[in-house]
Amino acid sequence: MPAIRATLPAERREAFDHAINEAGVQEISAFMRHWMLEAVPDPEVEALLERLVTDKVERRGVA
């Protein structure tokens, strides 16, 4: 976990510290996944999310 924290921008480290202190045993794998993706973004995932947001906005405009 220290390596994930070190990879994050300085302004996100306090949120990381708070989140890890609040995470229970059952939540730790979701916690790790969330923060690993934030620390090392995946361009393919980012592009997919952007397309989904664009599609949603376009659908709302049509409705």
Per-residue pLDDT tens digits for 25-43: 888 888 888 888 888 877 8
pLDDT of residue 60: 80
| Alpha-carbon distance values, 29 to 33, 34, 42, 47 (Å) | 6, 9, 18, 24
Show the tokens assigned to 59.
Answer: 């659908």
- Provide the residue range defining the domain that includes 54: 2-62
Average pLDDT, the chain: 85
Q: Per the structure, how many domains does the chain have?
A: 1
pTM of the model: 0.54
